[in-house]
Amino acid sequence: MISCKNNYGQLGILPKEKFKFRPSVYGIIRHADKICICKLKSNGKIWFTGGGIDPGETREAALLREIDEETGLKNITVGRLLGSFENFFCYQPEDWAMHAFLFFYECHAHDTVFRENDKLDDEYDFQWIDANRIKKEELADLNEEIFNLLSIYAHRD
């Protein structure tokens, strides 16, 4: 049995056989003094653009694909690896669970206009905000780890 959080932040315990391995990549995308967040419409929590790495795909290629698919932003420069984390999570009500390795990269956007909302994923609301406004409890998961990563990144010149 493995302890994990669901997309509503509730802790649960699931059998290990339920978990699918999922390497994934996420961008902390900066433009000037703002970063791109996605607010999850299901729970109001904050997360970042990204997702699963397809077999045979590099992390950078997966990140650029995910950013384009989710936001429509195309002119992105991928920078350094900011951090990586192991995580177990499940998604309700779809009833799937993941054993994930999450890689977070610093990214720079050279444009800021998101694709029209009606063409975006219905689950997310993308916004540009000041990283210093994000509170630890607003994060969807890995609150301590991601908050620390943001604190370091937000204070870089």
Find tokens 């540009």 and name the residue. Answer: 128
Nearest to 91 by CA among 61, 47, 157: 47
Residue 34 CB-density burial (10 A; 0-12 exposed, 13-18 middle, 19+ buried):
middle
- Domains of the chain in sequence order: 2-6+22-154 (3.90.79.10)
pTM of structure: 0.88
* Among 13-17, 55-59, 90-94, the least confident range: 90-94
The token pair that represents 100 in the structure block: 């994930």
What's 61-94 look like in SS3? HHHHHHHHHHHCCCCEEEEEEEEEEEEEEEECCC
Per-residue pLDDT tens digits for 90-149? 887 778 899 999 999 999 999 999 886 555 556 788 999 998 889 999 998 888 899 988
